[in-house]
Amino acid sequence: MSQGQKAPKTTDEQKKSEIGTILANRYEVLRELGRGGMGVVYLCKDLVTHERIALKRLRPPDEAKATRAEESWWFQQEARAVAALDHPAIVRARDFGTLHDASPYLVMDALPGRSVHEWMHTTTMPWSVIWALIDQTLAGLGHAHARHVIHGDLKPSNVMLDLASTGRGPRAYILDLGLAWLRESRHDSRLDGAPEPELAVHAGAGTVGWVAPEQIRKQATLVGPATDLYALGCILYRVLTGKEVFEGTAQEVLRAHKRTPVPAPALPEGVPVQAGVFIQRLLAKKPWHRFELAADARRVWAQFRPKHAPTLEETVASAPVPPPEPSSTPEMGRAVAAARALAPGLLSLRPSPMVAREPERQEMMDIVLSVCAGQPPQHRMVALIGEAGVGKSRLAEWVCEQVHERGLMWPLRARSRDRRADAARSLGGRQG
C-alpha cells in the first residue's frame, strides 16, 4: 500500500459509518439488516411519515462484483415483481428510485419477527404454527403466480415468521424476489408500438437444498407455480423432521434432488399421517406430478388444519387495529397519506389498479362460480364489448387473476394483432 493511501474499510466500519446517513433525502439509516452478493438492506426511518422501513440498495459502484448494467437490470426486475403484488403474506413495496451514486434502491415495509431459518435453528415449532406458516405461504404464492411472478428462490431465510406482534395466530411473509421469474410482461405494445421487453429468466437460479429439479436442469420452459411448491415442500420437510430432504456436498445434494426419490418423512407426534403424502407430492421430480396451482395445494393442506389454528383470512380479519399516536389528528392523517403519495417511484412499475366496475366484476365471478359448480349450461362464452380504452382488457385480466389465485380455472390468454398494421409500421409507413 502506497504512503498516504487509505486502507479499505472493513464491513464493521462500513456499517458504523452508514448509520445516520440520509438516503434519497428521506430515509435515515438506523442499522444494517443484511448484506448479500449484490446489495445491502438497511433498517431506516422515513423522515416524512416517521415509520420504520427496510431499504434495499445495490452496492455502491466501487463494490460491484458483476457488470453494473446487469446488476441494475436484475434489481429493477425485483422491483417490478414486488410492485405487481399486494397481499398480506408478501412484503409490500413502498418506493423505488436512484441514489446520488446511480445505485437503485427499493423501499419495503419493515416486518416484525424472524426468518424461518432462524426459528428452525432456535426452537421446535408446534404443529399449529407450522400449519399456519404453510397455509399463509401458499396463499401468498397463489397471489404471485396469478400475476405471472414465480419466486424462484423460496427458502427458510426468505420467509419471515412473526409469532408475537399479531392479535391472533402467527403471520408469515414472503421476502426477497431478487431471483423472481416474471413469466409475462405487463407492457401492451398496442399503446406505443414498442417491442415486448425481454422476460426475466434466471438460468439455474436458486439455492442448493431448496431448488427444484427443473431449475437444476435449467429447463426454463418448465419453471412455473409447481417450482415454488417444490421449494415449499423442502421447507416443510425441514421444519417437520429437523433435517433437509437430502444432505451431503453441494453436488451430491443437487444430484439427489434431480434423481433420488424422496424418503417418507418421519413426522412428529400429532401431525396427520397424510401430511407426509402431501410433502412427497410437493417434492415430486416432475412438475406435472405436483399440484398445478398453489390454491390446489392449499385446499388439500386445509384438511390437516389443527383445531385452533386460524387461516390467513381469519388472522388478518381479527388483527387489532393499532391505536393512533397521541398527537394524531384527522389533518395529520391526511398529511401522512399525502406524504406517502410523494414516493412515486413505483408508479412506473406498478400495474394499473382495478377501479370500480363492481357490477361487471360480480357478474363475471357469478358466471365463473356457476360453471365451477356444474350448473347448466355447462359451456359459456362471455364477450366484453365496448369502445377502445374503456377497460375491457383490464377487466378480463382481473378475472384471470382471480380464477388463477383461487384455483377455480386455468386462464388461457391470447391477444389478437393487426398484422397489416405491424408490417406497415416496420416499413416506416402508415396504413390509410
Q: Contact, 41 vs 59, CB < 8 A?
A: no
Q: How far apart are CA 50 and CA 328, in angstroms?
A: 12
Q: Contact, 79 vs 349, CB < 8 A?
A: yes
Q: What is the pLDDT of residue 203?
A: 53
User: In angstroms, what CA-CA distances link 414 with 93, 148, 345, 420?
Assistant: 30, 15, 31, 18
pLDDT tens-digit map of 186-238: 545 544 455 555 555 555 567 899 999 999 999 989 999 999 999 999 999 99
Q: What is the pLDDT of residue 70?
A: 76
Q: Contact, 77 vs 182, CB < 8 A?
A: yes
Upstream peptide bond of 377 is cis (omega within 30 degrees of 0): yes
Share of the chain above pLDDT 90, in %: 50
Phi first, then psi, for residue 37 (nearest 5°) are -65, -35
Q: What is the pLDDT of residue 431?
A: 42
Instruction: Determine how β-strand 181-182 pairs with β-strand 39-46.
Output: unpaired
Residue 259, C-alpha cell as written in the block: 434423481
- Of all helices (H) and strands (E), which one includes residue 16? helix 11-18
Largest Cα span, the chain: 86
Side-chain half-sphere CA neighbours of 67 within 13 A: 3
User: In angstroms, what CA-CA distances link 266 with 225, 243, 274, 279?
Assistant: 26, 10, 12, 11
Q: State the burial class of residue 371 (Cβ atoms within 10 Å of its Cβ: 0-12, 13-18, 19+).
A: middle
- Least Cα distance to 343 among 166, 121, 92, 111 occurs for 92
Q: What is the pLDDT of residue 56?
A: 93
Residue 110, C-alpha cell as written in the block: 419493515
Domains of the chain and any CATH numbers: 16-70+86-109 (3.30.200.20), 114-318 (1.10.510.10), 354-432 (no CATH)
Phi first, then psi, for residue 116 (nearest 5°) are -60, -35
Q: Contact, 140 vs 97, CB < 8 A?
A: no
DSSP state of 383: -
- Least Cα distance to 315 among 170, 174, 143, 175 occurs for 170
Q: How far apart are CA 352 and CA 345, in angstroms?
A: 14
Q: How far apart are CA 229 and CA 203, in angstroms?
A: 18
Q: What is the pLDDT of residue 280?
A: 97
Instruction: Determine how β-strand 181-182 pairs with β-strand 104-109.
Output: unpaired
Q: Which residues of the chain have pLDDT under 50?
A: 1-7, 187, 190-192, 425-432
Neighbours of 60 (CB within 10 A): 13
pLDDT tens-digit map of 80-112: 888 889 999 999 999 999 998 888 999 999 998
Q: What is the pLDDT of residue 428?
A: 46
Q: How far apart are CA 104 and CA 12, in angstroms?
A: 23
List the helix and strand counts (H, then E) for the chain: 15, 11
DSSP state of 321: P
- Sequence-separated (6 or more) residues with CB below 8 Å from residue 201: 181, 220
Neighbours of 89 (CB within 10 A): 24
Helix (H, G, I), strand (E, B) or coil at 45: strand
